[in-house]
Amino acid sequence: QNDIYTAGVHRRKPRVPTDFAELERRARRAMSARAWAYIAGGAGEGRTMTGNRAALDRWAIVPRVLRDVSRRNLEVELFGRRIPAPVLFAPVGAGSLAAPEADRLIGHAAAELGLPYIFSNQASVPMETVAAEMDAVRPGAPRWFQLYWSTDDDLVDSLLSRAEAVDADAVVVTLDTTMLGWRPQDLNIGSLPFARGEGIAQYTSDRRFVEIVAERLRTAVGERPEISLGAVATLISITRNAPGRFWKNLTSPQPRAAVQTFLDIYSRPSLSWDDLAGLRDRTRLPIVLKGVLHPDDARRAVDAGVDGIIVSNHGGRQVDGAISTIDALADIAPVVDGRIKILIDSGIYTGSDVFKALALGADAACIGRPHMYGLAIAGAEGARDVVADIIAELDLTLGLSGHTDVADLDRDALRRI
Ligand code: FNR
């Protein structure tokens, strides 16, 4: 926070805008129309996206005075690890639309800040590469893994064991995307990101996934001799070694088979609470359920023995007209009553937003689009600065509202207006 003011004194402009509206404008200019449609877009008429922000405005901070705020603490503990601020980088798939090797750059940014990066199951860079990058910046830098529950159990196991092998602190199971939402921006442009293979590196770098594609191709070769087995073998060896590069701009039937396979198996719409019980036996990692919005589901999550939830509407990308996450949090936190960790995301874009979420019972907040906008404008440094700015504003808001520790915030710090 001091740095940015010092820069201002010396008349240096910050690398990325320090307010969300300007950040969004600059990011739009920096991105292709296709990237903008996918990243900035929301479900339906955009009501959930707008609603997330509007609902935050209905909670007012009521500052206190004369309480010695000269020393402040933002540190929190999540799953046995202390992190410098209650902020995480949300999982964002198909990031290569915004910048080549997006996930590696974001990993770099997160490691510099010492904040957890949640690797997307639909990343553009395999998790092993991102983890190595993070370790180069800060050995053991915190990372989590986000899972979309595939229809193929062996693929789920493979992804989980890879997450364990890269020392993830937790697995986040995203439950609100068993099917892709109605997203007019993408539909109107007629090009879903995955069409060119963006966002499938986590799969194409996976031994089990490659096996599945190979099986399918073998069957196809049986039926269609014009696809040679040689081509299949080449495909398999190349995907194993250089998934990211291989997929760019390729239109031959083999990559299409991988994209099609990915679309067919990436998620399981039949998923139910019964499936969840099995997950506990399949990984030693803490389990966090993402996309919980109803207090009864939060209660079931506690009963199911998971370790945390993320109150999320997927950044307004799934159900148009869904409840805002800040209002959902206000209903959920009393039900959970401190028994498991509660995280929140969707429309949490400023330090003041994070403050409100903590006061309503969240342990931490995840940031999605803002760090992607920073990335599009100024690469890894841009992603880092956007999140550092949110934390700097949180620190100021904390002190200026008369508080010294994020752990002490409660509903008394707010009034519903
Ligand atoms: C996402 N999100 C997401 N979530 C997830 O669990 N796995 C994923 O692969 C993705 N992919 C993804 C791509 C893009 C372009 C966006 C914008 C979002 C949702 C993400 O984790 C988070 O819930 C929201 O981004 C939070 O909302 P804000 O901060 O973007 O408003």
Distance (Å, whole) CA 54 – CA 338: 27
Ligand 1 geometric centre to CA of 25 (Å): 19
pLDDT of residue 253: 43
Ligand 1 geometric centre to CA of 392 (Å): 23
Q: 223 and 114 in one domain?
A: no
Atom of ligand 1 nearest to the CA of 290: 6
Distance (Å, whole) CA 79 – CA 341: 9
Residue 373: strand pairing partners: none
Which residue's CA is minimally distant from atom 9 of ligand 1?
A: 93
pLDDT of residue 400: 98
Name the domain count of the chain.
Answer: 2
Ligand 1 geometric centre to CA of 97 (Å): 14
pLDDT of residue 227: 63
Which residue's CA is minimally distant from atom 19 of ligand 1?
A: 314
Q: How far is CA 64 from the centre of its chain?
A: 34
Q: 356 and 232 in one domain?
A: no
Give yes or no for a contact between 94 and 35, defined as CB atoms under 8 angstroms apart.
no
Last-in-domain residue among 235, 265, 295? 265
Q: Which residue is catalytic, options 10, 108, 314, 403?
A: 314
What Å distances lie between residue 12 and 16, 110, 286, 370, CA to CA?
12, 24, 43, 22
Q: Tokens 């980088």 sit at which residue?
A: 89
Q: 281 and 233 in one domain?
A: no
Q: 115 and 75 in one domain?
A: yes
Q: Whose CA is closest to 397, among 346, 343, 341, 355?
A: 355
Q: 250 and 226 in one domain?
A: yes
Q: How far is CA 132 from the centre of its chain?
A: 19
Q: Whose CA is closest to 332, among 347, 311, 353?
A: 311
Q: 199 and 184 in one domain?
A: no
Q: 314 and 198 in one domain?
A: no
Domain containing 59: what range? 2-189+268-416
Residue 410, domain CATH? 3.20.20.70
Distance (Å, whole) CA 10 – CA 162: 47
Give yes or no for a contact between 163 and 142, defined as CB atoms under 8 angstroms apart.
no
Last-in-domain residue among 239, 265, 291? 265
Q: 254 and 213 in one domain?
A: yes
Give yes or no for a contact between 98 and 370, defined as CB atoms under 8 angstroms apart.
no
Atom of ligand 1 nearest to the CA of 95: 15
Q: Tokens 């509206």 sit at which residue?
A: 21
Maximum CA pair distance of the chain?
80
403 is catalytic: no
Q: 226 and 172 in one domain?
A: no
pLDDT of residue 190: 84
Buried b (16+ CB within 10 A) or exposed e, 141-170: bbbbbbbbbbebeebbebbbebbeebebbb
* Residue from 117, 144, 176, 314 whose mutation best tests the ligand 1 pocket (most atoms within 8 A of CB): 314
Q: 273 and 185 in one domain?
A: yes
pLDDT of residue 256: 77
Which residue's CA is minimally distant from atom 10 of ligand 1?
A: 92
Q: ipTM of the assembly?
A: 1.00
pLDDT of residue 10: 75
Q: 287 and 140 in one domain?
A: yes
pTM confidence score:
0.94
Pocket of ligand 1 (CB under 6 A): 38-39, 90-93, 120-122, 146, 174, 290, 312, 314-315, 345-348, 367-369
Q: What is the pLDDT along the chain (417 residues), one digit of tens a residue?
A: 567 777 777 778 999 999 999 999 999 999 999 999 999 999 999 999 999 999 999 999 999 999 999 999 999 999 999 999 999 999 999 999 999 999 999 999 999 999 999 999 999 999 999 999 999 999 999 999 999 999 999 999 999 999 999 999 999 999 999 988 999 998 998 877 777 778 999 998 899 998 888 788 778 767 766 666 666 666 655 555 544 444 443 334 456 777 888 889 999 999 999 999 899 999 999 999 999 999 999 999 999 999 999 999 999 999 999 999 999 999 999 999 999 999 999 999 999 999 999 999 999 999 999 999 999 999 999 999 999 999 999 999 999 999 999 999 999 999 999
Distance (Å, whole) CA 289 – CA 172: 6
pLDDT of residue 250: 39
Q: 261 and 272 in one domain?
A: no
Last-in-domain residue among 265, 288, 312? 265
Atom of ligand 1 nearest to the CA of 348: 29
